[in-house]
């Protein structure tokens, strides 16, 4: 099969208006990389070209990696997903449910009806949210001076719940709590647990919560889209400013090639080139809907600078597995029902299609999330992949 049509999609993404600063896209089957392309620049303020080995802030693409580390705890007999998390992290017992605001704007809180479990944290059914996706949590942050989760501060996890655990779905900070569970039960940092249990087994040498000097030299800048469509680059992160903890929900840096190796592991029933990451039985369980019939819903933005309103594949029923979103019906791109995937806040997207044995990763570094130009280009990439697959099958027939 030929994937050359993807080159034009990437080129248009950085040449058309409104443009993207730089894009990298890759496609894999179970055995090898089928396509790798990169266009544009790492920063609109610098000359360096975007390349296949450019280092990216992965944001919520980190979540599935953290979920994998949690699943390894289960396989090793160290964790019961349905055990109350307070038995491992006692401070989670202090979290209460947001029950409105008083006349002075102070949050009114009440005790939750039941304990939070690790399964709830993975499925986003615990009640946690994000302040940039919820006006109530944003109001709490303003009233109390609580730090944003993006700050990397431990205090940012002490945010109220939006509903009683287990009673709804809401995208939130549950995977940051999961990272703390991994650290507590492994007795090491989340990054070290991931390195020994995942990265080394998959050959992911360019992924981590910190930036080595070599990675920093290949780092793409984050960008902000202005109202007129223009792009402004953020300053690169200060190497002296480190987060208080490894944020399992959003803290990883890595390359597209490394993330493709992670996708390939899921296509290969948990096996990697340097060791097994998960058993086939765990993989099979982990990619299935875990919400027991409940569907996920669109995500409304509370901070437009960070994100537009979000819904992947509007009109298509979607559920959530332990690490991923699941599209219950075939997507308009051609992605078959039962495939999994998700995204990262700086307009990164990926999918894993175990039926056809392929997966893809597409990334730029741009706020706000769900940027129309970024979404259009990504969906064009995924659609081109399935168009080529279908054309190939028709020729065989």
Q: Which residues are catalytic?
A: 60, 63, 171
Distance CA 391, CA 242 (A): 49
Q: Which two tokens stand for residue 60?
A: 């919520």
Instruction: Please tell me the number of Cα atoms within 13 Å of 353 on its side-chain side.
Output: 22
Could you tell me the end-to-end alpha-carbon distance of the chain, in angstroms, rounded to an integer?
A: 15
Q: Can you read off the two tokens belonging to residue 196?
A: 């020994």
Category of 341 on φ-ψ map: left (φ > 0), alpha (ψ -120 to 50) or beta:
left
Provide CB contacts within 8 A for 270, sequence distance 6+. Answer: 276, 277, 278, 279, 280, 282, 283
């Amino acid at each position: 099969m030929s994937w050359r049509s993807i080159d034009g999609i990437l080129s248009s993404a950085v040449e058309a208006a409104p443009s993207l600063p730089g894009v990298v896209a890759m496609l894999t089957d179970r055995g090898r990389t089928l396509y790798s392309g990169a266009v544009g620049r790492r920063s609109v303020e610098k000359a360096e070209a975007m390349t296949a080995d450019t280092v990216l802030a992965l944001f919520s693409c980190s979540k599935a990696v953290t979920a994998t580390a949690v699943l390894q705890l289960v396989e090793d007999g160290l964790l019961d997903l349905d055990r109350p998390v307070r038995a491992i992290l006692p401070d989670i017992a202090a979290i209460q449910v947001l029950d409105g605001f008083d006349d002075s704007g102070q949050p009114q809180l009440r005790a939750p009806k039941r304990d939070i479990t690790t399964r709830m944290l993975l499925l986003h059914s615990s009640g946690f949210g994000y302040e940039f996706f919820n006006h109530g949590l944003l109001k709490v942050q303003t009233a109390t001076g609580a730090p944003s989760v993006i700050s990397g501060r431990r205090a940012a996890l002490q945010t109220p719940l939006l509903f009683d655990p287990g009673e709804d779905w809401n995208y939130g900070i549950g995977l940051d709590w999961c990272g703390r569970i991994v650290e507590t039960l492994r007795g090491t940092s989340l990054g070290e647990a991931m390195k020994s249990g995942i990265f080394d087994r998959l050959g992911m040498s360019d992924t981590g919560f910190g930036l080595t000097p070599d990675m920093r030299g290949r780092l793409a800048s984050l960008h902000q889209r202005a109202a007129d469509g223009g792009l402004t680059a953020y300053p690169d992160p200060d190497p002296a400013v480190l987060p208080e903890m490894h944020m399992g929900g959003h803290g990883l840096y890595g390359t597209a090639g490394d993330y493709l190796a992670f996708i390939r592991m899921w296509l290969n029933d948990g096996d990697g080139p340097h060791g097994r990451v998960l058993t086939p039985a765990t993989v099979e369980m982990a990619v299935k809907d875990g919400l027991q019939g409940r569907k996920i819903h669109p995500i409304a933005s509370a901070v437009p600078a960070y994100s537009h309103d979000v819904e992947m594949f509007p009109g298509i029923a979607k559920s959530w597995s332990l690490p991923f979103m699941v599209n219950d019906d075939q997507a308009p791109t051609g992605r078959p029902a039962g495939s999994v995937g998700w995204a990262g806040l700086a307009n990164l997207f990926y999918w894993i299609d175990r039926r056809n044995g392929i997966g893809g990763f597409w990334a730029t570094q741009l706020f706000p999330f769900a940027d129309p130009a970024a979404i259009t280009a990504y969906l064009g990439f995924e659609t081109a992949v399935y168009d080529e697959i279908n054309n190939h099958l028709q020729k065989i027939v």
